Amino acid sequence: MIPSFSKYTLLTGAGWSHNWGGRLASEVWQSVIGHTVMKKNEPLRKMLLDEPSFEAALAKTYAAPFAEEDRQELEEAILDTFISMDREIGLSDHDPWINIYKVQELLFRFWGQRADHNNASYLFTLNQDLFFERHLYNEHVAGAPGGVLPGLVPVPNQRWFTTNVGLYSPEFTLRPAADPAGEGRLQGQTNVIKLHGSFNWRSPNGRNLMVVGTEKTGQIAASPLLSWYAEIFRQVLAAGGVRLMIVGYGFGDEHINAVIAGAIEKNGLSVFIWDTAPNLKQRVLAAPHGPAIWNGLISTASRRLVEVFPSNQSVTEEYVRIQNTFFA
């Protein structure tokens, strides 16, 4: 059983981190095809020219004419892209500057009010970058507990969820506990649940613990940590009367959509979708389980984060509307 929570939760996709320099899928492809390994691997480069999805390209390396070496080289290019992305996300002086303090206020609002006596909160993300590890701090202002990555073995002297995480290095590598569900805890903390892993996580056999490709459900099932995370996601959304804020997610993952749609149809889940791209309704309805998801809609937001949380630190009317609509 999951600990009691505020009945408000969050799911972020690539569009969230894009506000701080993260890359969308198409931009990851741009970086990967231009990587130095492609200069030495012409078959891999030609395949990428024909395949605009880096995830679909990675899936193709599991079959002939490609070999294990080709797959490792493509994974190397993808990993280097995420390391480069992390350097950008870690900057404190983006222009225009998003008021991170108001963003943090919003994120810790999912804990609930002090009088609610909640003992957990859940921030779900499909992103494999380190946005939350680098920028989710100042919890004391909101009266909420700090962020935690449940089920992972901490590295001595490595601090997350602070202002001084520092530049990425090999020491950032994390591994799951032998029994994540048994050894991990959820109570008394803000749980950051990275449903598709992270670019700095490694499985027990040393492989990247990052879910990419076209067989995501199989990859998740093969990982005790990610299987536990998937069950937490299901239980939280199915807790009854939950409100889910979805920010920057393109609704392309059938297994994620199925959980959301199932909770809407069976458990009274409601969704608030924050998306800056055009034609949101058409895109949602065209996605797997899209009609059921749209049927659970509270409202939407379409302005960029920098417009809602400007650098002058003013409280915008759009932020007030989002709070009053979602946290009603």
Whole-number Å distance between alpha carbons of 176 and 201: 8
Can you give the pLDDT at residue 189? Answer: 96
For the segment 126-166, what is each residue's pLDDT rounded down to a tens digit?
999 999 999 999 999 888 999 999 999 988 888 899 988 98
Whole-number Å distance between alpha carbons of 165 and 262: 38
- Determine the angle formed by the axes of helices 25-33 and 42-50, rounding to 10 degrees: 150
Can you give the pLDDT at residue 204? Answer: 85
* pLDDT confidence band for 115 (50 / 70 / 90): low
- DSSP-assigned states of every residue in 257-325: HHHHHHHHHHH--EEEEE--SS-HHHHHHHSTTHHHHHHTEEEEE-S-HHHHS-TT----HHHHHHHHH
Can you give the pLDDT at residue 97? Answer: 92
Q: Considering the chain, what is the average pLDDT of its residues?
A: 94
Can you give the pLDDT at residue 293? Answer: 98
Whole-number Å distance between alpha carbons of 126 and 128: 7
**Helix/strand number for the chain, H first, E second:** 17, 11
193 phi, psi to nearest 5 deg: -105, 105
Helix (H) or strand (E) holding 148: strand 147-148
Is residue 214 over pLDDT 80? no
Record the tokens describing residue 237, joined without a space: 């959304």
Q: Which fold has domain 8-20+97-160+173-326?
A: Rossmann fold (3.40.50)
Instruction: Write the burial class of residue 286 (CB in 10 Å: 0-12 exposed, 13-18 middle, 19+ buried).
Output: exposed
Strands of 270-274's sheet, edge to edge?
147-148, 190-194, 121-125, 8-12, 243-247, 270-274, 297-301
Q: Where are the domains of the chain?
A: 8-20+97-160+173-326, 25-89
Is residue 52 over pLDDT 80? yes
- DSSP-assigned states of every residue in 47-93: HHHH---HHHHHHHTTSTT--HHHHHHHHHHHHHHHHHHHHHHT-S-
Record the tokens describing residue 186, joined without a space: 């959820």
For the segment 244-293, what is each residue's pLDDT rounded down to a tens digit?
999 999 999 999 999 999 999 999 999 999 999 999 999 999 999 999 99
Can you give the pLDDT at residue 159? Answer: 86
